Structure 1
Amino acid sequence: MTRRRLPPAARRAQIIEAARGVIVERGLAVASLRDIAKAADVSLGTVTYHFDGVDEILSAVVVTESERFYEDVVRAADAEPDPWRALEIIVASLFGDSDDVAAHWRIWSDYWAAVARRPEMAAAYADRIRHWEACCTRVIARGVASGTFRGVDPEVTALKLAAYSDGLGTQRAQNVEGLTAEVARTWMNEFARWLLSPDGRPAEAGHCVSREG
C-alpha cells in the first residue's frame, strides 16, 4: 500500500504523536526508532530523516505535550482575576486522576532521565516547556502587587512550587502508597499557603488551592 505523501511539518507531527503513544505505553528506556516508525506507519528512514535519535524525538514530544497540556490551563489562570483561584487552576491541572495527567507525568519522568544523560537538551527547549512555572510567576506577581500574597520574589517562588510539584509528580508516577492525587493537591495547598499567605495562615474559605471544580 502506498503511503500518502505529507508536507514535512505534517509528517513530523505524525511521528511526534506516534512517539508520544509509544513512550507513554512502553517508556523511553525500551522505545526504539523502529517502534516509533511502526506506530507512525512510516519507514525507519522517514523517522531518521526528521530526527537524529530517540532523545531528539522525546524533546519534540515534550515541547508538543507542554503546549497542548497547559494551553487551556494557562489561558484560564491568566484570565482569573483572583490570584488564589488562579493558582488553584494551575495546581489542579497537575494532580488529577485522569489518564491524560498520568501520561503527562510519564513523559516528563522520561524527559528528566534523558536530560540527566544529555543536559544540553534542557537548555535547548527551556523556554518552550516551562509554561506551568511561567504562569505561576505571573499569578504570583499579580498576587504580590494586589497584597493578596506576601511580598515574595515571583520567579523564585514559582520555581519552589515547580520543584515541589515535580517531586510529588515523580513520587506519584512511582505509585508510592498513600500518595493519591487528592493528597498531592493537599500538600501543594499547604506549601503554597506557607509560601504566599501574608499571615502564614490558610487561605480564606473558597480560596483553597487544592479545591476542584
Structure 2
Amino acid sequence: MLRAAAEQIEARGVAAVRIADVASALGVSNALVLYHFSTKEKLVSAAFGYAAEQDLARLRGLLGRRTTALRRLRAAVRWYAPTGQAKGWRLWIEAWAAALREPVLREVARDLDRRWKAAITEVVEQGVAAGEFHCADPAGAALRLTALLDGLAVQMTAYEGAVSRARAQEWVDDALARELGLGHAGSLTTAPDTAN
C-alpha cells in the first residue's frame, strides 16, 4: 500500500493525489486504505517514510561493502546522483515542497537528510582514519556533497535538458575528489581496491 501511495504521489503530486488513486492502483476499496490510514496526510507521511527507509537501506548496502572507503563513497554518490540508478527524485522534490507546510512530513524529510549525511560522514571519517584521503571536515563535506546532489536533482528533474547527465556526473566526481583532497576526479577511479 505504501509503495503504491509513493508511486501515485510521484506521478500526480502531493496536492493532486487522492485516497481513491491509491485504492484504484491496488484494486481495493477506498475504505480499506482509510482503515489503515485515517487521512490522506497520514498516508502521504507514511509513504514518504517508507520511501526513505528503502533509500536508506540501499545506501547502507552500498556503504557496507568490503572495499575502500573511497570506492564505497563513489558508489553511493553515483547511485544517489540524479544521473545514477536512484529513482524517485520527483517524489523527493514533492516531499520537500509539501514539508514546508506539513510538520509531520517535514520531520520525515529531515530525518532522512540527517541519516544520509551521517552515513556519508562516517565513511569519510573511515577513509581519513585509514589514510586513503584527507578531509578536515567530514560532516561539512557530507553536507556540501548532498547539497550539490539535491540541487542537481532539482535542475535535472524540473528543467529537463538544463544540465546533461555527463556534465552532472563530471561535477559530482570533481566535487567528491575536491572534498577528499584528491585534486582531480581521475583519482577516484585509480584508487586501489582493498576488498577481500
In the TM superposition, what is the alpha-carbon distance from 1:203 to its structure 2 partner? 5.2
* Distance of aligned partners of 1:181 and 1:67 in 2 relative to their CA distance in 1, 3 Å threshold: farther
> Which residue of 6, 21, 25 corresponds with 2:11?
25
Is structure 2 residue 107 aligned with structure 1 residue 123? Answer: yes
> Which residue of 167, 175, 181 corresponds with 2:165?
181
Would you say how many aligned residue pairs link Structure 1 and Structure 2?
A: 191
Q: Distance in 1 between matches of 2:127 and 2:158?
A: 34
Is structure 2 residue 123 aligned with structure 1 residue 148? Answer: no
Q: Distance in 1 between matches of 2:36 and 2:65?
A: 37
TM-score of the superposed pair, with normalisation by structure 2: 0.81
In the TM superposition, what is the alpha-carbon distance from 1:69 to its structure 2 partner? 3.4
**Amino acid aligned to 1:64:** Y
CA contact under 8 A between 2:156 and 2:163: conserved in structure 1? yes
Q: Which residue of 1 aligns with 2:174?
A: 190
- Name the SS for the 1:177 alignment partner: coil
In the TM superposition, what is the alpha-carbon distance from 1:90 to its structure 2 partner? 0.5
> Which residue of 145, 148, 162 corresponds with 1:161?
145
Q: Which residue of 2 aligns with 1:101?
A: 86
% identical equivalent positions: 28
In the TM superposition, what is the alpha-carbon distance from 1:181 to its structure 2 partner? 2.8
Is structure 2 residue 39 aligned with structure 1 residue 49? Answer: no
**Which sections of structure 2, spanning at least 5 residues, go unmatched?**
192-196
Q: Distance in 2 between matches of 1:91 and 1:34?
A: 36
* Distance of aligned partners of 1:163 and 1:128 in 2 relative to their CA distance in 1, 3 Å threshold: closer
- Name the SS for the 1:30 alignment partner: coil
Q: Which residue of 2 aligns with 1:204?
A: 187
**Which sections of structure 1, spanning at least 5 residues, go unmatched?**
1-14, 209-213
In the TM superposition, what is the alpha-carbon distance from 1:173 to its structure 2 partner? 0.8
CA contact under 8 A between 1:73 and 1:89: conserved in structure 2? no
In the TM superposition, what is the alpha-carbon distance from 1:96 to its structure 2 partner? 6.0
Residues 23-48 of structure 1, C-alpha deviations (whole Å, 9 max, x = no match): 22222232112212222223223322
CA contact under 8 A between 1:67 and 1:131: conserved in structure 2? no
**Amino acid aligned to 2:71:** R
Query: Which stretch of structure 1 is more off in the superposition, 128-137 or 87-96?
Result: 128-137
Q: Distance in 1 between matches of 2:36 and 2:190?
A: 47
Q: How does 1:36-75 map to 2 (within 5 A)?
A: 36-75=22-61
Residues 63-103 of structure 1, C-alpha deviations (whole Å, 9 max, x = no match): 222322342442232224312211111011123667x634x
